[in-house]
Structure 1
């Protein structure tokens, strides 16, 4: 509280709950300590940022008056949440019977013998109301959203991860792009499987015919065998890629990427490469992820 001879001001500083792109308000109370009419006027160092109602008025003898200050919505937060804006409240004795419409700017001119009381109020930003705490444990009947592995790492169930990706309004467009890519990969996978089955049948037939004719292998047989190996490898790649895309976003936790080699959507990247497991086998991997997280493991 700021205490003067004419007025008491409460509080002594203006505290605004700060939240980006939302306006906020606070109020202060002016109390007339005298048996005279007291006129007041409120000024600020940043008039475009604040709205004061009323910014001038009369406080009757022994009564109080509330002043509301509204801060316009801010697009960015100041460094360290420190605000340099200040307010100045002036109070002066007015003739008895003075009304709000009778207040003139000249009333606050500093002249010899006139007492003008001044209060300087600083602006303080305080955090907006924090969200309600989340109770520990899940509700009965609800599916678990997370679990803890034996090594202490937290893992999230795949359906929930996909649900979060699809329910995010900002990711609806990018997720549709991902599902489109998934559909294409699934079709390629089915086509590759059919080709593999056909090649297996032809290879088996050639093997039987070759074994009946002579013990060696023909050039055609070797060529078909090589083609089969290539198609099997391609099917493995597509199978891995489709499996990974199907869950939304993930790669093997042992494989990381600093920068994507290609971009599917401005907010969704994909990248495919190979990682080698403990047995020395090369495994193809496709990752789909969002910046700035880079890669998430579910």
Structure 2
């Protein structure tokens, strides 16, 4: 652990959950303690094992940058959980016109006379609590509930199979009733149309008879 004047690094150590076959992540906070722009770069002793985002950047005066460290999925878990992996954060003051893309390894070269600060962090693997086992009583209760459910399901299935022929028969009778109803409606419509035609013909004949009688009556008057 060292005392830095450029960047305040938190936490002091990286606690990464150790999960078999799964990636694990943690974060570190880099806070600029100065009134100047500070460039940083993150290194690790095992670069193939970890993914760092961002690996480099610029922290403005008084601001904080969050860096995420992701450990690749592990195929096995060491019995003692002892980890020798370490991270190194290098920082240096840069001009205001320097951007993230301008950061290069030469900026952190101490031989050039620049003040390059370094902060070292060690990696600590933390165990993940496994899910608590189901109590035997609860497990037995679940099994008994499952047995009751299966038994009830079998009873309902048997009842449905027994009632299926009657359901099909009722459906067939209903279809027959619907067809008969439609047939009766069609016959009723034909009777109504036929009656209407008869009424129309009767009215026409009545008018003709009245007209003939009127003509005959007129001729009879003239003759008189």
- When the two structures are superposed, what TM-score results if normalisation uses the length of structure 1? 0.45
Aligned to 1:51: 51
Partner of 2:95: 95
Quote how far apart the aligned CAs of 1:131 are. 1.9
* Bigger-Rg structure (1/2): 2
Deviation readout 1:143-180 (Å, 9 max, x if unpaired): 469xxxxxxxxxxxxx9xxxxxxxxxxxxxxxxxxxxx
The aligned residue for residue 128 of structure 1 is: 128
Q: CA contact under 8 A between 1:13 and 1:124: conserved in structure 2?
A: yes
Q: Which of the two has greater helix per residue? A: 2
Note the 1:34-183 alignment, pairs <5 A: 34-111=34-111, 113-131=113-131, 134=134, 137-138=137-138, 142-143=142-143
Q: CA deviation at 1:111?
A: 2.7
CA distance in structure 2 between the aligned counterparts of 1:133 and 1:32, rounded to whole angstroms = 47
The 8 Å contact of residues 86 and 121 in structure 1, kept in 2 or not, is answered as yes
The CA distance in 2 between the partners of 1:111 and 1:61, in whole Å, is 26
The higher relative CO (CA closer than 8 Å, separation ≥ 6) is in 2
Distance 1:132 1:91, change over 3 A: same
Deviates more, 1:64-73 or 1:124-133: 124-133
Check conservation: 1:37, 1:97, Cα contact below 8 A: no
| Displacement of 1:20 | 1.1
Q: Deviations over 1:54-109 (max 9, x none)?
A: 11100000000000111111111224111111111101101113211111211111
2-structure distance, mates of 1:37, 1:130: 45
Gaps of 5+ in 1: 146-158, 160-298
* Structural RMSD (CA): 2.7
Structure 2, gaps ≥5 residues long: 148-224
